[in-house]
Amino acid sequence: MFEATQNVTLKPTESWREALLDTRVMDLFFTVHRKIREDSDMAQDSLQCLAQLASMHGPIFPDESAQISYLAHMVEGFLSMINGIEIEDSEAVGISNIISNLITMFPRSILTALPSELFTSFINCLTLLTCSFGRSAALEEVLDKDDMVYMEAYDKLLESWLKLVQDEQHFPRGCFVQPAIQVFNSYIQCHLAAPDGTRNLSVNGISSHEEEEINELQEDDRELFSDQLSSIGMQGRVAADHCIPLLTSLLEDRVNRLHGQLQRTQQHLMASTDLESVDRKVLDDLYEDIHWLILVSGYLLADDPQGETPLIPTEVMEFSIKHSTEVDLNTTLQILGSPGEKASSIPGFHRTDSVIRLLSAVLRTSEVESRATRASLTQLLSPQMGKDIVWFLRRWAKTYLLVDEKLYQQISIPLSTAFGVDTEGAQWIVGYLLEKVINNLSVWSSETDLANDTVELLVTLVEKRERANIVVQCESWWSLAKQFASRSPPLHMLSSCVQRSLMKALVLGGFAQMDSDTKQQYWAEVLHPLQQRFLNLINQENFAQISQEEAVKQEIVATLEALCGIAEATQIDNVASLFSFLMDFLSSCIGLMEVYSNTPETINLIIEVFVEVAHKQICYLGEMKSMKLYELCLTLLQVYSKNNQSRKRGDATAEEDQYQDLLLIMELLTNLLSKEFIDFSDTDEVFRNQDQGTPASNRTVSAADVVLYGVNIVLPLMSQDLLKFPSLCNQYYKLITFICEIFPEKIPQLPEDLFKSLMFSLELGMTSMGSEISQLCLEALSPLTEQCAKNQEKDSPLFIATRHFLKLVFDMLVLQKHNTEMTVAAGEALYTLVCLHQVEYSELVETLLSSQRDAIIYQRLADAFNKLTASSTPPTMDRKQKLAFLKSLEEFVANVGGLLCVK
């Protein structure tokens, strides 16, 4: 009934109480596992049973004490099963699932009600298993195994730890400190090179491969292992007294060794200029150690919540406050402000704040890197280390730089003195970070990922007004702005995505606090040259002839990228001026569609400008401004459609070009639709009465017009081959679901062939795509069916189509395997379809029942169907009835779903 990958939890009804709460039943499952654990297939099945028993919840427990005794017996059984055995590879994931379910499904009050010795034994067992699975996972990586069972199990256990320590306040004080130290130490050890660590050592102490091959397509470790790092960072906070000083000393040691190694290599190169003769092994090991130490430090010191103000973690703040009486502030600030010096060379270095000292160790790493670039040793450096440094500094700056004391109940004096508002420390560090950005962009312009991370640090420095106010006082900021605006080297060599982000940063900086003359001068230096160059170019009489020249194309592309960057810089307090500036360009961009109709990459970029403007600005625009944008988007689509019909594309690239075009057009349409449900506009506020006047009744173009015109372009081009591209497929189905939800009344008005295409797409999505797409299609069905019920046209194409969908959804819920997450979407769709086609639904049930030969199954099904619709007879489009139907459906699927599943 369920997809095999799901970890399905057990929620039996009260009728199972006598059977499942009998301790002998659970004992039987543990005994069975002990007997068959040598057989890997059977062992996995028996562990799956135990994992389900570990997840048991719901009405089966009469009260809390029943839950406590069940959990206690489960934990005792689990501990005695684990005790004294050597875990097989095939058991690792199953064991981690049991632990995960126990921690996830049982409330904290039940866990803490366990006898204290039993709870301690459980936590100790979890600690030992986590460290053991972590070592085995590291070994799997070294041996490059295909089936990473220990890695999966380790991830699961670290996730369980994260849930426990996030709820630390519910547990006995300090009960996780020692386990956290062990798990943290074990993780660090697995990621450091010998002799301190065990990285890249195989069972016999021999490295498995001489040189690690790095796959270019592989995700960065900070993304790939983000869940692991979040858990380890959290453990580091729980045991901050141990972990922060440990990270500091390890990082300081590695950086000092790196500095010495680079100096020795420089002397070696003076004698022999042959880079090949340099032994990179020591350097590579140091870089890898520094890589992991910086990642763990970043996750320990700060979170990166999307869209929220990141706060200094409570544990870190308390740690700093607790030790502040032992801290000499002047020495702390001296170490912070001397990244060129070893911390240990500064008198009194022991009496420093450990949190600031850890940041100082990263700044010292940054300084060693910068000095190596100035000494022409860039080829010996690691771009990965460069990325780690700016990633850390960005994450740190968001949380600690200009720390706002009002957001905290208590504040650490060392942290507020070093990084608070109006402090010399904050000004110094902003200047230092800005110099770092400028240095990186000149040295690493060819390393796109590093340049991108560097510019993201710059965006972080200016996206908050308080930080931007300090940034724009730095002379280097102004020279960076002038250099970029004049397209001077090396900034013009940066990749297009980096240039886009750099433009975004420069625009955000322009809204910092400056007097009006300075601000005017700033915009004249940043935006005016962009506008002038663009207008001078496109207004040349011979523009059509010279437009395909490489230099001209580069200028156009650079301008389009800059426009995307300007749109990305939109905030509620700058949208008025940025919208006006961009509108001047958008009409010209449509003209470029004609000129570059045979240059797909330029066409894509033009559409992308519109995508970004719609995405970032539509939610703030009042009615008049929105209409202007709708009109321009409609013109853009009309020109695209005309060019597309006459465009001749080579077969080899046709599909890829089409893919990019369609993806962007659908993104544009989806962004325009978003206005219907995310609208922050307040014309008076944002645009200060610029556009009062035209009443709504005179609207010329609406979002619906643009979107349906766009759908007319997209639908005929959307082939089944194109739907094999996951991102395109996703965007397509997201769009048609939006349209069905927002404008269901427009669907019956579509031309016949388009209507058929849309219905075919919905059927294809429900029956042949993954669960995410299938769910989107089911969500589209309910509003369409409700629309059909309103119209009451029994012969309309939509009425006939919904009748067909009734059978599809019925079969999906009753006869086929499906993901449990789909039950709600499918149930809502089924209910509305049953309301519309009651006779057909009764016929489907009768047909199904009459096909049953087994009398017992027949009766079970008949009773289940009667119970399913008992609360909604006759069914009507009523919310209460629908909710009752969905509740009954959950029971229906649990009781009889498995009986009819087509194997």
Q: Which amino acid type is present at position 373?
A: T
399 in Cβ contact with 303 (< 8 Å) = yes
Helix ranges (H only) for 209-239 are 221-224, 226-238
Report residue 897's pLDDT band, with 50, 70 and 90 as the boundaries.
low
Residues 6+ apart with CB under 8 A from 878: 872
Position 499 scores a pLDDT of 94
Q: What letter would DSSP give residue 220?
A: P
Q: What angle do CA 494, 500, 506 make, to 5 degrees?
A: 100
Mean pLDDT over all residues of the chain?
88
Q: What angle do CA 689, 690, 692 make, to 5 degrees?
A: 65
Is the model more confident about 852 or about 467?
A: 467
C-alpha distances (whole Å) from 242 to each of 43, 180, 182, 521, 767 are 39, 10, 10, 52, 55
For residues 165 and 240, what is the distance between their CA atoms, to the nearest angstrom?
A: 13
Of the chain, the percentage scoring pLDDT greater than 70 comes to 91
For residues 147 and 554, what is the distance between their CA atoms, to the nearest angstrom?
A: 47
> What is the DSSP secondary-structure string of 381-436?
S-HHHHHHHHHHHHHHHHHHTTB-GGG-SS--HHHHHHHBTT-HHHHHHHHHHHHH
Position 509 scores a pLDDT of 96
The SS3 assignment for 645 reads helix
> What is the DSSP secondary-structure string of 664-721?
HHHHHHHHHHGGGT-----HHHHHTTTT----GGG----HHHHHHHHHHHHHHH--TT
For residues 750 and 254, what is the distance between their CA atoms, to the nearest angstrom?
A: 67
Give phi and psi for 403, each to the nearest 5. Answer: -55, 130
Position 700 scores a pLDDT of 66
CA 271 and chain centroid, separation: 49
For tokens 């047909």, what's the residue? 847
C-alpha distances (whole Å) from 31 to each of 37, 47, 80 are 10, 11, 11
Position 4 scores a pLDDT of 38
Position 161 scores a pLDDT of 97
For the segment 214-246, what is each residue's pLDDT rounded down to a tens digit?
444 467 899 999 999 999 999 999 999 999 999
For residues 366 and 339, what is the distance between their CA atoms, to the nearest angstrom?
A: 8
Is the model more confident about 52 or about 814?
A: 52
Report residue 15's pLDDT band, with 50, 70 and 90 as the boundaries.
confident
Of the chain, the percentage scoring pLDDT greater than 90 comes to 64
Position 698 scores a pLDDT of 53
For residues 858 and 456, what is the distance between their CA atoms, to the nearest angstrom?
A: 64
Q: With a cut of 90, say whether residue 784 has pLDDT above it.
A: yes
Q: With a cut of 70, say whether residue 377 has pLDDT above it.
A: yes
For the segment 526-538, what is each residue's pLDDT rounded down to a tens digit?
999 999 999 999 9
Q: Which amino acid type is present at position 293?
A: L
Report residue 880's pLDDT band, with 50, 70 and 90 as the boundaries.
confident
Q: With a cut of 70, say whether residue 898 has pLDDT above it.
A: no
For residues 882 and 872, what is the distance between their CA atoms, to the nearest angstrom?
A: 8
Q: With a cut of 80, say whether residue 702 has pLDDT above it.
A: no
Report residue 710's pLDDT band, with 50, 70 and 90 as the boundaries.
confident
For residues 834 and 853, what is the distance between their CA atoms, to the nearest angstrom?
A: 26
What is the number of residues in the chain? 903
Token representation of residue 750: 């579509």
Q: Which amino acid type is present at position 288?
A: E
Position 902 scores a pLDDT of 44
For the segment 279-303, what is each residue's pLDDT rounded down to a tens digit?
788 999 999 999 999 999 999 999 9
For residues 343 and 542, what is the distance between their CA atoms, to the nearest angstrom?
A: 63
Lowest mean pLDDT among 337-341, 441-445, 802-806, 849-853: 849-853
Give the up-direction half-sphere exposure of residue 441: CA atoms within 13 A in the CB hemisphere: 30
Position 860 scores a pLDDT of 83
Rounded to the nearest 10 degrees, the angle between the axes of helix 797-815 and helix 822-836 is 130
Residues 6+ apart with CB under 8 A from 27: 77
Q: With a cut of 50, say whether residue 609 has pLDDT above it.
A: yes
Report residue 871's pLDDT band, with 50, 70 and 90 as the boundaries.
low
**Domain ranges across the chain:** 1-169, 174-204+221-421
Position 685 scores a pLDDT of 45
Q: With a cut of 80, say whether residue 903 has pLDDT above it.
A: no
Q: What angle do CA 365, 367, 371 make, to 5 degrees?
A: 120
C-alpha distances (whole Å) from 39 to each of 45, 799, 883 are 10, 55, 46
Token representation of residue 252: 């300081």
Q: What letter would DSSP give residue 219?
A: P
For residues 272 and 295, what is the distance between their CA atoms, to the nearest angstrom?
A: 35
Q: What letter would DSSP give residue 378?
A: G
Give phi and psi for 420, each to the nearest 5. Answer: -70, 175
498 in Cβ contact with 448 (< 8 Å) = yes
> What is the DSSP secondary-structure string of 648-665?
---HHHHHHHHHHHHHHH
Token representation of residue 291: 């890589």
Position 692 scores a pLDDT of 43
Q: With a cut of 90, say whether residue 74 has pLDDT above it.
A: yes
Provide the 10 A C-beta neighbour count for residue 449: 15
For residues 733 and 666, what is the distance between their CA atoms, to the nearest angstrom?
A: 10
For residues 419 and 421, what is the distance between their CA atoms, to the nearest angstrom?
A: 7
Q: Which amino acid type is present at position 546?
A: I
Q: With a cut of 70, say whether residue 63 has pLDDT above it.
A: yes
Tell me if the bond preceding 115 is cis, omega within 30° of 0: no
Q: With a cut of 90, say whether residue 141 has pLDDT above it.
A: no
Lowest mean pLDDT among 358-367, 390-399, 694-703: 694-703
User: What is the value of pTM for the model shown?
Assistant: 0.87
CA-closest candidate to residue 228, choices 187, 180, 272: 187
CA 566 and chain centroid, separation: 24
For the segment 631-677, what is each residue's pLDDT rounded down to a tens digit?
999 999 999 988 887 665 555 566 667 788 899 999 999 999 887 76
Burial 464-476 (b: 16+ CB within 10 A, else e): beebbbbbbebee
C-alpha distances (whole Å) from 144 to each of 40, 138, 212, 398 are 21, 10, 10, 37
Q: What angle do CA 286, 289, 295 make, to 5 degrees?
A: 135
Report residue 901's pLDDT band, with 50, 70 and 90 as the boundaries.
low
Which residues on adjacent β-strands are paired with residue 420? Answer: 403
Which residues on adjacent β-strands are paired with residue 403? Answer: 420
For residues 101 and 868, what is the distance between their CA atoms, to the nearest angstrom?
A: 31
The SS3 assignment for 245 reads helix
For residues 415-443, average pLDDT = 95
For tokens 């016949």, what's the residue? 752
For residues 44-54, average pLDDT = 94
898 in Cβ contact with 1 (< 8 Å) = yes
Q: With a cut of 80, say whether residue 894 has pLDDT above it.
A: no
